[in-house]
Chain A
Amino acid sequence: MNEYLSKLTDQFSGSIEVLPAFRNECSWKINPDKFIGLVTSLRNHAEFPFEVLFDVTAVDKTPVNGTIEVVYHLFSHKINGFIRLKVAVSSETPILPTISHIWNSANWLEREVYDLFGVKFSDHPDLRRLMMPDEYEGFPLLKAHPLCPQGDCNDF
């Protein structure tokens, strides 16, 4: 494991669960209530500041364990290293705090996750749909969403 990863893992070992690394890329699983504190300290880390939020996406695991897993990819220029954070929220009330005040790029990424998975980000400045039409009902990337909600794709 890279040096920065072992150091960070030691430092935050209380609030994370380390998932098996894949090709030297490490993932941490975090509790939603510890999430904001952890990303703030990663962003302002003295030794390895993670300045870039590469991506926010999600995986619908409702059939497996009733959660939606929101995935954050962070990058640090200083060490040229990635870290991946996974936060599971329950499918019934998918709410997470926004991180758009920490990384501006999170603004649209969170809108995308809201649009396609229905995860609400509390205190987000402008939580509107990003890709689907505003009047669209439902969240298309959820497993429960049918391929053509109108029944027939030809209905328009």
Chain B
Amino acid sequence: MGLEHQLGDNILTTSLEWAVNWARSNSVWPMTFGLACCAIEMMPIVSPRYDLARFGSEVYRASPRQADLLIVAGRVSRKMAPFVKQVYEQMMSPKWVISMGACASCGGVFRNYAILQGVDKIIPVDVYVPGCPPNPYALMQGIFEIQKKIKGEKFTDHPYE
């Protein structure tokens, strides 16, 4: 329990919240984690052509401990599901999840024995990006939605994990 849990909402905590959310929303670092063809469309968002660095999310972290955002880019097979969950659990709170593409959101065209019918069956998802695969601009839109969401958050929304 942090101090903010004792103080409740007042001018001090809400201004601090605003400042922290501003900082957090402009430094959303994604995890380096691609699962299938969607990952190919995820990679160029940091390239000069799309340049996510303009919005503070250019640093793909190679370790879940340093990442704030998990982009589930591609279909999740039943064999991969425990590892996706493990990566999510290893990330430090606060953390957010984008489910990228039809496969990660609902299984897509792969309605069969091998593919998880949506990653939200194992981890909570904040933003779904539709498409097969989504255009890099669509994924950037998803990251803006995450930023919007972060700006409206309270300290108490995130449990200490």
Contact = CB atoms under 8 A, between A and B. Distances in A.
Interface of A: 131-133, 136, 140, 145-150, 153-154, 156
B124 to A, nearest CB: 15
Given A147-B111, A148-B111, A156 B116 contact: yes
A116 to B, nearest CB: 10
20 contacts: A131-B79, A132-B78, A132-B114, A133-B78, A133-B79, A146-B113, A147-B111, A147-B113, A148-B111, A148-B112, A148-B113, A149-B113, A153-B107, A153-B115, A156-B78, A156-B81, A156-B116, A156-B117, A156-B121, A156-B122
A148 B111 CA distance: 8
A148 B107 CA distance: 13
Contacts of A146: 113
Question: What's the interface size class on B, roughly?
Answer: 10 to 19
- A-B residue pairs, 7 tightest by C-beta: A133-B79, A154-B117, A156-B121, A153-B117, A153-B111, A147-B112, A140-B113
A136 B113 CA distance: 10
Q: Is chain A's interface secondary structure helix, strand, loop, or mixed overall?
A: loop
- Could you say which of B78, B113, B114 has the most chain A C-beta atoms within 10 Å of its C-beta? B113
A140 B114 contact: yes
A132 B115 CA distance: 10
Contacts of B107: 153
Contacts of B79: 131-133
Contacts of A154: 117, 121
A154 B117 CA distance: 6
A93 to B, nearest CB: 24
